[in-house]
Protein backbone atom coordinates (compact mmCIF):
# COMPACT_ATOMS: atom_id res chain seq x y z
CA UNK A 1 0.00 0.00 0.00
CA UNK A 2 1.10 3.58 -0.68
CA UNK A 3 1.20 6.37 1.90
CA UNK A 4 -2.30 6.81 3.41
CA UNK A 5 -3.64 10.37 3.04
CA UNK A 6 -6.89 11.64 4.52
CA UNK A 7 -9.20 14.10 2.78
CA UNK A 8 -12.91 14.84 2.79
CA UNK A 9 -14.72 17.24 0.47
CA UNK A 10 -16.29 18.87 3.54
CA UNK A 11 -12.84 20.06 4.64
CA UNK A 12 -13.75 23.13 2.58
CA UNK A 13 -16.62 25.02 4.21
CA UNK A 14 -17.99 28.32 2.86
CA UNK A 15 -16.96 31.46 4.72
CA UNK A 16 -18.10 35.07 4.15
CA UNK A 17 -16.29 36.86 1.28
CA UNK A 18 -13.07 38.50 2.38
CA UNK A 19 -12.63 36.35 5.50
CA UNK A 20 -8.92 35.99 6.14
CA UNK A 21 -8.90 32.27 6.99
CA UNK A 22 -7.86 30.44 3.78
CA UNK A 23 -10.47 27.66 3.80
CA UNK A 24 -10.01 27.00 0.08
CA UNK A 25 -6.48 25.73 0.67
CA UNK A 26 -7.70 22.31 1.78
CA UNK A 27 -9.38 21.47 -1.51
CA UNK A 28 -6.52 23.01 -3.47
CA UNK A 29 -4.04 20.84 -1.57
CA UNK A 30 -5.93 17.70 -2.53
CA UNK A 31 -5.94 18.77 -6.18
CA UNK A 32 -2.23 19.70 -6.15
CA UNK A 33 -1.16 16.36 -4.69
CA UNK A 34 -2.96 14.56 -7.51
CA UNK A 35 -1.94 16.97 -10.29
CA UNK A 36 1.75 16.83 -9.30
CA UNK A 37 1.75 13.06 -9.03
CA UNK A 38 2.51 13.12 -5.31
CA UNK A 39 -0.50 10.90 -4.67
CA UNK A 40 -3.06 8.86 -6.53
CA UNK A 41 -6.78 9.07 -5.75
CA UNK A 42 -6.62 5.51 -4.43
CA UNK A 43 -4.39 6.68 -1.55
CA UNK A 44 -7.05 8.96 -0.09
CA UNK A 45 -9.31 7.93 2.77
CA UNK A 46 -12.45 9.87 3.73
CA UNK A 47 -13.39 10.08 7.42
CA UNK A 48 -16.95 9.71 8.64
CA UNK A 49 -18.74 11.96 11.12
CA UNK A 50 -17.49 11.04 14.60
CA UNK A 51 -19.65 10.45 17.67
CA UNK A 52 -19.98 13.50 19.90
CA UNK A 53 -18.57 11.38 22.73
CA UNK A 54 -15.15 11.62 21.05
CA UNK A 55 -15.23 15.41 21.28
CA UNK A 56 -16.32 15.28 24.90
CA UNK A 57 -13.27 13.20 25.86
CA UNK A 58 -11.47 16.56 25.70
CA UNK A 59 -14.03 19.37 25.62
CA UNK A 60 -16.67 20.46 28.12
CA UNK A 61 -20.10 19.14 27.19
CA UNK A 62 -21.77 22.56 27.50
CA UNK A 63 -19.24 24.10 25.10
CA UNK A 64 -19.66 21.26 22.59
CA UNK A 65 -23.45 21.49 22.75
CA UNK A 66 -23.45 25.27 22.40
CA UNK A 67 -21.17 25.14 19.38
CA UNK A 68 -23.16 22.36 17.71
CA UNK A 69 -26.43 24.22 18.28
CA UNK A 70 -25.07 27.58 17.17
CA UNK A 71 -25.77 29.17 20.55
CA UNK A 72 -22.28 30.34 21.54
CA UNK A 73 -22.30 33.99 22.53
CA UNK A 74 -20.74 36.65 20.31
CA UNK A 75 -17.63 36.96 22.48
CA UNK A 76 -16.91 33.24 22.19
CA UNK A 77 -17.36 33.37 18.41
CA UNK A 78 -15.01 36.36 18.15
CA UNK A 79 -12.39 34.48 20.13
CA UNK A 80 -12.58 31.60 17.67
CA UNK A 81 -12.35 34.01 14.74
CA UNK A 82 -14.66 32.01 12.46
CA UNK A 83 -18.37 32.80 11.96
CA UNK A 84 -20.67 29.96 13.00
CA UNK A 85 -22.59 28.05 10.36
CA UNK A 86 -24.02 24.55 10.12
CA UNK A 87 -21.55 23.79 7.29
CA UNK A 88 -18.58 24.89 9.40
CA UNK A 89 -19.80 22.86 12.38
CA UNK A 90 -20.06 19.78 10.16
CA UNK A 91 -16.62 20.50 8.72
CA UNK A 92 -15.17 20.79 12.23
CA UNK A 93 -16.44 17.36 13.22
CA UNK A 94 -15.22 15.80 9.97
CA UNK A 95 -11.74 17.31 10.40
CA UNK A 96 -11.45 15.88 13.91
CA UNK A 97 -12.44 12.46 12.58
CA UNK A 98 -9.82 12.89 9.87
CA UNK A 99 -7.05 13.24 12.44
CA UNK A 100 -8.34 10.22 14.37
CA UNK A 101 -8.32 8.20 11.15
CA UNK A 102 -4.83 9.49 10.33
CA UNK A 103 -3.62 8.28 13.72
CA UNK A 104 -5.20 4.84 13.27
CA UNK A 105 -3.63 4.44 9.82
CA UNK A 106 -0.26 5.61 11.14
CA UNK A 107 -0.34 2.80 13.70
CA UNK A 108 -1.17 0.33 10.93
CA UNK A 109 1.25 1.54 8.26
CA UNK A 110 3.88 3.51 10.16
CA UNK A 111 3.09 6.89 8.59
CA UNK A 112 -0.06 8.71 7.48
CA UNK A 113 -0.99 12.31 6.63
CA UNK A 114 -4.10 14.40 6.97
CA UNK A 115 -4.80 17.27 4.56
CA UNK A 116 -6.21 19.33 7.44
CA UNK A 117 -5.90 19.42 11.25
CA UNK A 118 -3.67 21.03 13.82
CA UNK A 119 -6.29 23.02 15.76
CA UNK A 120 -4.03 23.42 18.78
CA UNK A 121 -5.48 26.66 20.20
CA UNK A 122 -8.76 25.02 21.28
CA UNK A 123 -9.07 24.72 25.07
CA UNK A 124 -11.44 22.39 26.94
CA UNK A 125 -14.12 25.06 27.36
CA UNK A 126 -13.59 27.46 24.47
CA UNK A 127 -12.13 27.89 21.01
CA UNK A 128 -9.45 30.36 19.96
CA UNK A 129 -7.32 31.40 17.02
CA UNK A 130 -9.38 29.69 14.26
CA UNK A 131 -9.49 26.50 16.38
CA UNK A 132 -12.82 25.09 17.59
CA UNK A 133 -12.07 21.54 18.79
CA UNK A 134 -8.54 20.29 19.46
CA UNK A 135 -8.08 17.43 16.99
CA UNK A 136 -4.62 16.48 18.31
CA UNK A 137 -5.94 16.08 21.84
CA UNK A 138 -9.09 14.25 20.75
CA UNK A 139 -7.12 11.80 18.60
CA UNK A 140 -4.81 11.09 21.53
CA UNK A 141 -7.74 10.42 23.86
CA UNK A 142 -9.70 8.30 21.37
CA UNK A 143 -6.76 6.02 20.62
CA UNK A 144 -5.99 5.67 24.32
CA UNK A 145 -9.62 4.85 25.07
CA UNK A 146 -9.61 2.21 22.32
CA UNK A 147 -6.50 0.66 23.86
CA UNK A 148 -4.43 1.28 20.73
CA UNK A 149 -1.79 3.46 22.43
CA UNK A 150 -0.64 4.32 25.92
CA UNK A 151 2.05 6.98 25.40
CA UNK A 152 1.68 9.79 22.84
CA UNK A 153 4.17 12.46 21.79
CA UNK A 154 2.83 15.63 20.17
CA UNK A 155 5.44 17.46 18.10
CA UNK A 156 4.07 20.93 17.35
CA UNK A 157 6.16 22.97 14.91
CA UNK A 158 3.47 25.50 14.00
CA UNK A 159 4.89 29.00 14.49
CA UNK A 160 2.36 29.61 17.29
CA UNK A 161 2.53 27.79 20.60
CA UNK A 162 0.10 24.90 21.01
CA UNK A 163 -1.40 26.55 24.08
CA UNK A 164 -4.69 24.67 24.14
CA UNK A 165 -2.92 21.32 23.81
CA UNK A 166 -0.52 22.27 26.62
CA UNK A 167 -3.39 23.03 29.00
CA UNK A 168 -5.37 19.90 28.12
CA UNK A 169 -2.44 17.62 28.98
CA UNK A 170 -0.75 19.71 31.69
CA UNK A 171 -1.32 17.07 34.39
CA UNK A 172 -1.17 14.00 32.15
CA UNK A 173 2.10 12.11 31.77
CA UNK A 174 0.66 9.83 29.09
CA UNK A 175 0.76 12.64 26.49
CA UNK A 176 4.00 14.61 26.12
CA UNK A 177 3.61 18.03 24.49
CA UNK A 178 6.54 19.60 22.62
CA UNK A 179 6.05 23.03 21.05
CA UNK A 180 8.76 24.92 19.14
CA UNK A 181 7.40 28.34 18.24
CA UNK A 182 8.11 32.04 17.81
CA UNK A 183 8.24 33.71 21.21
CA UNK A 184 6.90 37.11 20.07
CA UNK A 185 3.75 35.82 18.43
CA UNK A 186 0.20 34.73 19.22
CA UNK A 187 -0.84 33.68 21.81
CA UNK A 188 0.25 36.65 23.91
CA UNK A 189 0.01 34.58 27.08
CA UNK A 190 1.96 31.36 26.69
CA UNK A 191 0.99 28.17 28.51
CA UNK A 192 3.41 25.52 29.78
CA UNK A 193 3.99 22.55 27.49
CA UNK A 194 6.08 19.63 28.70
CA UNK A 195 8.81 21.14 26.53
CA UNK A 196 8.66 24.63 25.04
CA UNK A 197 11.37 25.95 22.72
CA UNK A 198 10.94 29.69 22.21
CA UNK A 199 12.46 30.98 18.96
CA UNK A 200 13.60 34.52 18.30
CA UNK A 201 11.99 36.53 15.52
CA UNK A 202 13.58 36.13 12.06
CA UNK A 203 15.30 32.73 12.53
CA UNK A 204 16.35 31.18 9.20
CA UNK A 205 16.62 27.61 7.93
CA UNK A 206 19.91 26.38 9.37
CA UNK A 207 19.47 27.76 12.89
CA UNK A 208 15.90 26.46 13.01
CA UNK A 209 16.87 22.95 11.90
CA UNK A 210 19.89 22.81 14.20
CA UNK A 211 17.67 23.78 17.11
CA UNK A 212 15.18 21.06 16.24
CA UNK A 213 17.98 18.49 15.92
CA UNK A 214 19.17 19.38 19.42
CA UNK A 215 15.88 18.20 20.94
CA UNK A 216 14.09 15.69 18.73
CA UNK A 217 16.23 12.51 18.93
CA UNK A 218 16.56 12.68 22.73
CA UNK A 219 12.87 13.43 23.06
CA UNK A 220 11.92 10.29 21.17
CA UNK A 221 14.29 8.08 23.15
CA UNK A 222 13.13 9.57 26.46
CA UNK A 223 9.37 9.49 25.81
CA UNK A 224 9.31 6.26 23.76
CA UNK A 225 5.88 7.05 22.32
CA UNK A 226 3.52 4.49 20.87
CA UNK A 227 2.45 7.24 18.46
CA UNK A 228 3.78 10.61 17.33
CA UNK A 229 1.28 13.30 16.33
CA UNK A 230 3.09 15.86 14.19
CA UNK A 231 1.66 19.36 13.62
CA UNK A 232 3.54 20.56 10.53
CA UNK A 233 2.38 24.17 10.40
CA UNK A 234 3.99 26.10 7.53
CA UNK A 235 3.58 29.51 9.15
CA UNK A 236 7.30 29.66 10.10
CA UNK A 237 7.80 30.49 6.40
CA UNK A 238 9.31 33.86 5.54
CA UNK A 239 6.27 34.83 3.43
CA UNK A 240 3.63 33.94 6.01
CA UNK A 241 1.40 36.82 7.09
CA UNK A 242 1.28 35.66 10.72
CA UNK A 243 4.67 34.01 11.08
CA UNK A 244 7.63 36.27 12.01
CA UNK A 245 10.20 33.57 11.23
CA UNK A 246 12.17 33.26 7.97
CA UNK A 247 12.16 29.67 6.72
CA UNK A 248 12.25 29.04 2.97
CA UNK A 249 10.44 26.33 1.01
CA UNK A 250 13.66 24.32 1.11
CA UNK A 251 13.90 24.80 4.86
CA UNK A 252 10.35 23.55 5.38
CA UNK A 253 10.99 20.47 3.23
CA UNK A 254 14.20 19.75 5.15
CA UNK A 255 12.25 20.10 8.39
CA UNK A 256 9.65 17.56 7.26
CA UNK A 257 12.31 15.10 6.15
CA UNK A 258 14.16 15.60 9.44
CA UNK A 259 11.10 14.95 11.60
CA UNK A 260 9.76 12.03 9.58
CA UNK A 261 13.07 10.25 9.03
CA UNK A 262 14.07 10.64 12.68
CA UNK A 263 10.76 9.15 13.82
CA UNK A 264 10.50 6.40 11.22
CA UNK A 265 14.13 5.28 11.55
CA UNK A 266 13.43 4.73 15.24
CA UNK A 267 10.26 2.77 14.54
CA UNK A 268 7.87 5.41 15.88
CA UNK A 269 4.56 5.68 13.94
CA UNK A 270 3.80 9.24 12.82
CA UNK A 271 0.40 10.82 12.14
CA UNK A 272 0.77 14.20 10.43
CA UNK A 273 -1.54 17.21 10.26
CA UNK A 274 -0.88 20.34 8.21
CA UNK A 275 -1.33 23.05 10.87
CA UNK A 276 -1.35 26.76 10.13
CA UNK A 277 -0.38 28.77 7.10
CA UNK A 278 -1.57 32.22 6.00
CA UNK A 279 -0.86 34.03 2.74
CA UNK A 280 -2.57 36.01 0.00
CA UNK A 281 -0.60 33.90 -2.49
CA UNK A 282 -2.81 30.83 -2.26
CA UNK A 283 -0.81 28.74 -4.71
CA UNK A 284 2.39 29.38 -2.79
CA UNK A 285 0.69 28.54 0.49
CA UNK A 286 -0.78 25.29 -0.82
CA UNK A 287 2.61 24.28 -2.21
CA UNK A 288 4.16 24.83 1.22
CA UNK A 289 1.53 22.59 2.81
CA UNK A 290 2.19 19.95 0.14
CA UNK A 291 5.83 19.71 1.23
CA UNK A 292 4.70 17.58 4.17
CA UNK A 293 3.09 15.04 1.84
CA UNK A 294 6.01 15.12 -0.59
CA UNK A 295 8.42 14.40 2.24
CA UNK A 296 6.12 11.76 3.70
CA UNK A 297 5.86 9.98 0.34
CA UNK A 298 9.66 9.84 0.07
CA UNK A 299 10.05 8.68 3.65
CA UNK A 300 7.35 6.05 3.26
CA UNK A 301 9.08 4.57 0.22
CA UNK A 302 12.56 4.81 1.75
CA UNK A 303 11.62 2.90 4.89
CA UNK A 304 9.38 0.47 2.96
CA UNK A 305 6.54 1.08 5.38
- CA atoms of 5 and 198, how far apart (whole Å): 31
Query: Which 3 state secondary structure label does DSSP give 237?
Result: strand
Query: Which of residues 19 and 227 earns the better pLDDT score?
Result: 227
| CATH H-level superfamily of 22-302 | Histone deacetylase domain (3.40.800.20)
- CA atoms of 95 and 101, how far apart (whole Å): 10
pLDDT number for residue 138: 98
Q: Where are the alpha helices (DSSP H) in the chain?
A: 25-35, 52-55, 61-69, 74-80, 86-109, 135-145, 163-168, 205-223, 249-265, 282-302
Burial status of residue 243 (CB atoms within 10 A of its CB: 0-12, 13-18, 19 or more): buried
Query: Which 3 state secondary structure label does DSSP give 274?
Result: coil
Mean pLDDT of 153-158: 98
Summarised one tens digit per residue, pLDDT across range 69-117 is 999 999 999 999 999 999 999 999 999 999 999 999 999 999 999 999 9
Burial status of residue 148 (CB atoms within 10 A of its CB: 0-12, 13-18, 19 or more): middle
The residues, any chain, with a CB within 8 Å of residue 188's CB and separated by 6 or more, are: none
Cβ of 290: how many Cβ atoms within 10 Å? 22
Please calculate the CA angle 225-230-236 and round it to the nearest 5 degrees.
140
Cβ of 276: how many Cβ atoms within 10 Å? 27
pLDDT above 90 as % of the chain: 94
* CB burial readout 42-71, b (16+ within 10 A) else e: ebbbebeebeeebbbebbeeebbebbbeee
Summarised one tens digit per residue, pLDDT across range 256-293 is 999 999 999 999 999 999 999 999 999 999 999 999 99
Summarised one tens digit per residue, pLDDT across range 51-74 is 999 999 999 999 999 999 999 999
Residue 3 DSSP symbol: P
CB of 143 closer than 8 Å to CB of 228? no
Summarised one tens digit per residue, pLDDT across range 117-134 is 999 999 999 999 999 999
Work out the pLDDT band at 188, boundaries 50, 70, 90.
Answer: confident
Query: Which 3 state secondary structure label does DSSP give 53?
Result: helix
pLDDT above 70 as % of the chain: 100
Work out the pLDDT band at 14, boundaries 50, 70, 90.
Answer: confident
Domain spans, the chain: 22-302
CB of 193 closer than 8 Å to CB of 160? no
Whole-model pTM: value is 0.97
pLDDT number for residue 46: 97
Query: Which 3 state secondary structure label does DSSP give 252?
Result: helix
Amino acid sequence: MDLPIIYHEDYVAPLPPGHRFPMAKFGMLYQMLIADGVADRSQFHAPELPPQEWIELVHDRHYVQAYCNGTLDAKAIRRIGLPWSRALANRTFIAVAGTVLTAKLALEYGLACNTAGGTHHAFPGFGSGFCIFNDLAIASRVLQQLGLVRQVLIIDLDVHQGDGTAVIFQDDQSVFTFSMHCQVNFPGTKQKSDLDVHLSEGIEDDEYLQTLAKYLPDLLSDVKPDLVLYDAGVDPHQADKLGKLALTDTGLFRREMQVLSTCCSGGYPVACVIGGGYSDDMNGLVYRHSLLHRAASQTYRHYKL
